[in-house]
Structure 1
């Protein structure tokens, strides 16, 4: 084989190896989970009193908001970390809890939720196993995360079907046996017989006694964004 053929062969091998390495790194570090929305965003001018623009008489008030609303199986919680490559989302689809609303005495409104961390899925089993280890989330010893609300801001006195309300929910978040007070900011609505909530908060690995789970192929920011995508019904 002459020199030119040897060089061409080596170049082809390098391209194949490089492509394989890029694919492998992408599989290990790339995002494979999209965060799903549960609230259909409607332009503000078409909500509530503005609904006459659609030829209707306006949205209807919810009949009985004051009761216990239970988190439904379609609900999900996500957390996201930003690496040197991109933002990676982890999805957890085993969520239980309730939201007890009291419009007559808002101080009596309560909410609690529990997430089964064993349901965590980023689309990559090796990555999930890595972040589940003891120096990170230690899921074997602490298989659930819990949130208990202590105050609410922005909840309406009269819930109008289809209207979207900006809310702030403050409470205690417990992960890995450590409890921190956090604020979830987002939106809620009553739609098609169910309450829906989308809200997020930002914490750090250190807040809950975790090391930063960086790897030899990527760096990772210390912040984590926790996203709630909840549907609640009777």
Structure 2
């Protein structure tokens, strides 16, 4: 009888250990590296030529190689989710930022973290509910400190205020952003922090793993100007 109990106990430990590993592998493990579109030293580039306003002003379209990232921090590490299906546009007017506008759309069914089981869970009804809400959108309502003068190859910092809608729920957010003009294209980065409960979701928890409520959203966008 004692040997039987010991065998049962060992079996239970194996099951628990296996379940714990599954829970860890299910919610943890970062497989996505954030690909930044602006070089780290771009802020210091001051030797380029001045960019004419005519080169900047007008309609710009987000290109297919653009990405949006969502990052969550667990008790083990930071896990990145990549949204590679991004579309939208940006209207630039360096002389009057009140005439500027911008909007972007992310296909939530295409969001992935490199872990299919985790991705299916996050896109399910308990979280993103991507089947019922296939798009997340951001619409700019105003710009702050948008520079009137630009230098080729140098990053310019500004702020975008707007409305982020996820899972059919809208929240006012502020993106700290910077953009770089080079060779007729614009590269834009932006970052903001929201929370799971801003959009009616609870942050994931398991016996082995806790997830913070905050979610960092990062824009990594390439834009081309529409030809008149």
* TM-score (normalizing by structure 1): 0.83
Deviation at 1:27, TM superposition (A): 6.5
CA 1:119–1:136 in structure 2 vs 1: closer, same or farther (change >3 Å)? same
- Please identify, of 192-201 and 113-122, the stretch whose mean Cα deviation from structure 2 is larger: 192-201
CA displacement 1:62-91 (0-9 Å, x = unmatched): 452111000000100000111111000000
Which protein is bigger by CA-based radius of gyration? 1
Residues 82-121 of structure 1: matches in 2 within 5 Å?
82-121=73-112
Does the 8 A contact of 2:24 with 2:209 survive in 1?
no
- Please identify, of 191-200 and 36-45, the stretch whose mean Cα deviation from structure 2 is larger: 36-45
* TM-score (normalizing by structure 2): 0.85
Residues 132-147 of structure 1: matches in 2 within 5 Å?
132-147=123-138
How many residue pairs get aligned? The number is 212
SS of match in other structure, 2:106: strand
CA RMSD of aligned residues (A): 2.4
Structure 2 portions without partners, runs of 5+ = 1-9
Of 130, 143, 149 in structure 2, the residue corresponding to residue 152 of structure 1 is: 143
Larger relative strand fraction: 2
Residues 32-51 of structure 1: matches in 2 within 5 Å?
32-42=31-41, 44-45=43-44, 47-48=45-46, 51=47
Which residue matches 1:167?
158
Of 57, 63, 69 in structure 2, the residue corresponding to residue 72 of structure 1 is: 63
- Please identify, of 157-166 and 66-75, the stretch whose mean Cα deviation from structure 2 is larger: 157-166
Q: Write out the 4+ residue segments of structure 1 that deviate beyond 4 Å after TM superposition.
A: 17-24
Which residue matches 1:30?
29
